[in-house]
Structure 1
């Protein structure tokens, strides 16, 4: 007589259950059949030895944090990882819950394998991604505008967690909260009003909300990307870690977040990791790594990066281009034309100087009709000479009258004198569009330039000494000889020398 083997029965039942779930997902909510999905029975023996598997259920903020540099940081230390990101731009916890419960195949599933090869699968459901690997870490995050509002976590996060946990193939998986970052102070994101348009208010709200949300799912850890970014903002780089006021800058912002994930997941300091992205200096990489390390040491407060400051001294020259295009090599892009737009300045050999430029009175907008080819001592590429910011001091344009625009240069040596060169151009016009540049510190120097059809002229304000605070203000307005009816004035480029 055959004897009933209870353990063998459980094993067969487990195989049947996983196969049923796998086949169901393949037919219904995995239209791409995920070619990298391992056959269901291969899950049962346990996770792949020596491979750490990380899945984020998020949006563009998880894209910023884990898709670009986390794999490379791990590889540099001989660690094998598989990284998955379930992406929908702007997705909130509420959206994820709705998609999970409706079995919606609506995600872009980005997956990086152990060889660093990234593939993207469209129209994937949460259930399909969860059973695609025996994930060791599964993270959740709130959409940025609600990330500091704990009430938006309370009814959604536990539901999403339970849905995922019930389907996870690794019983020992750790669940993670991704603490995202506050917006840049000059951000125009509509959700910034939730925090009175104040960066530190938003940062502290995010920290508090994540700490309160952690017990809702008994999360194993919080990855403090928000604290790392806030730490980094206290360095010489300043508030320049986003590319549009909320998404992280490329590569430094993304590298800082990835470094935070590395140290949080692997429990070892990221400082000294040999990997850094192309275009990032050793000094910049050190800022990112230390900002991440400080965040893991003190995840709920900002650590001032006192050893990563500049002193206002520099060799060579400082070049600033005004326009929303990315700055060419050797140039610093002041890529916003409204008040608060700023840039931490490097010299022409890519070293931070500790000097900053901030627009304190706005321009009207950007003009792209400058000279494509120039012959000046600034040696400008087309992207610099062709693009400029403009104002209109005599009459309204686009509903605005901008009598003057101002840029404040900070972090200067108050005992040093500086020279400022200015270029602007508006091609294809027949009137005089003289622009006046008033450069003011402890003394004041005025320079004027007719920007109409200008391809070769730069004007200089020489020997300007900063005020006692180490600051010089540049005021840009229409000159006395400007004959344009709207009083259009233009500024495309600034050079600072000593």
Structure 2
């Protein structure tokens, strides 16, 4: 049944798109683990559509606007200073910006600061100036990060009290920033929220039978319809004991696939519906639902209405 479904998706792709003319989009993402989530399946989706992706990534986990700028300014002062070369291969941001003739450079705020627009400046403007200096030909676009899972303890000093509240504030902050700067927005957070509300996808409900405080390896909760990573066991390299970890902010396979579909439609301007790439761990039916969500949000401009 799965193989048949995949074959149907591939056939629909050919009928809908016809033989695609190969297109190479040159893209550099300046971000963190959230941009890593978005890029994870993006390249495979691009290849499956008959194109060849050219992608660079200036990535540091948990990195905000200010930190990217701090490293870049260290490189400006002393190119030999390791502080100025934090990216893979000991590269500087300036070197990555000059590495190719990028058509697009993406920027984003770190997820926990994204709902608070007062955290964007002055780092965002300084980062924009660096990009324009070293890649003046590139269009700067903004990657909208997403809200955390419903069972994430989102309150406290982060300034939001629920997933609905976080989405509303993330959206307001990014929209205001893009409008002020004249930048386009990659609606990743909108797509994650749209899928969360989509009846065809289904609502995530925390497993009432699972208590993380008393769980014993290898017990894990049912996390059906989650778009976030959730719970997993990790082996302590020193003690050998298994410890339960939780991640309710990064995307899981389903969420990563949705994000890749969003980026595909945004940068290639063609429908992702019917794309034959379906990763291991994702059913063809679920892939089709997520493709449709991405298409509605990106191409049809159906953004979720923020809830009060």
TM-score class, shorter-chain normalisation, is 0.7 to 0.9
User: How big is the shift at 1:272?
Assistant: 1.2
Deviations 1:448-492 (A, max 9, x none): xxxxxxxxxxxxxxxxxxxxxxxxxxxxxxxxxxxxxxxxxxxxx
1:322-357 deviations in Å (ceiling 9; x for gaps):
xxxxxxxxxxxxxxxxxxxxxxxxxxxxxxxxxxxx
Question: Please, which of 165, 168, 191 is the counterpart of residue 201 of structure 1?
Answer: 165
For 1:414-429, list aligned pairs within 5 A.
none
Q: Distance in 1 between matches of 2:131 and 2:112?
A: 24
Determine the structure 2 residue equivalent to 1:164.
Answer: 131
Aligned residue number for residue 105 of structure 2: 138
User: Partner of 2:203 in structure 1?
Assistant: 238
Q: Give the drift of 1:223.
A: 0.5
More helix by share: 2
Deviation, 1:55, is: 0.7
Corresponding residue to 2:69 among 59, 80, 97? 97
C-alpha contact (below 8 Å) 1:207/1:300 kept by paired residues: no
Which stretches in structure 2 are left out of the alignment for 5+ residues?
1-21, 76-82, 205-225, 230-246
State the distance in 1 between where 2:257 and 2:172 align: 24
Counting matched residue pairs gives 237
**How far apart, CA to CA, are the structure 1 residues paired with 2:57 and 2:156?**
24
Distance of aligned partners of 1:191 and 1:151 in 2 relative to their CA distance in 1, 3 Å threshold = same
Q: 1 CA distance for matches of 2:284 and 2:60?
A: 34
- CA distance in structure 2 between the aligned counterparts of 1:191 and 1:218, rounded to whole angstroms: 33
Instruction: State the distance in 1 between where 2:194 and 2:118 align.
Output: 26
Classify the secondary structure of the residue corresponding to 2:185: strand
Contact 2:102 2:137 (C-alpha < 8 Å) held by counterparts: no
User: How big is the alpha-carbon RMSD for the aligned residues of Structure 1 and Structure 2?
Assistant: 2.0
The CA deviation at 1:149 is: 1.2
SS at match of 1:84: strand
Shift of 1:160: 0.4
2:28 paired residue number: 55
Greater relative contact order (CA < 8 Å, ≥ 6 in sequence): 2
Cα distance per residue 1:138-189 (max 9 Å; x no partner)? 0000001111111112322111011111111xx4311110001100011146
The SS at the match of 1:275 is coil
Q: Give the match for residue 14 of structure 2.
A: none
Which is greater in Rg? 1
Do 1:181 and 1:226's aligned partners in 2 also have CA atoms closer than 8 Å? yes
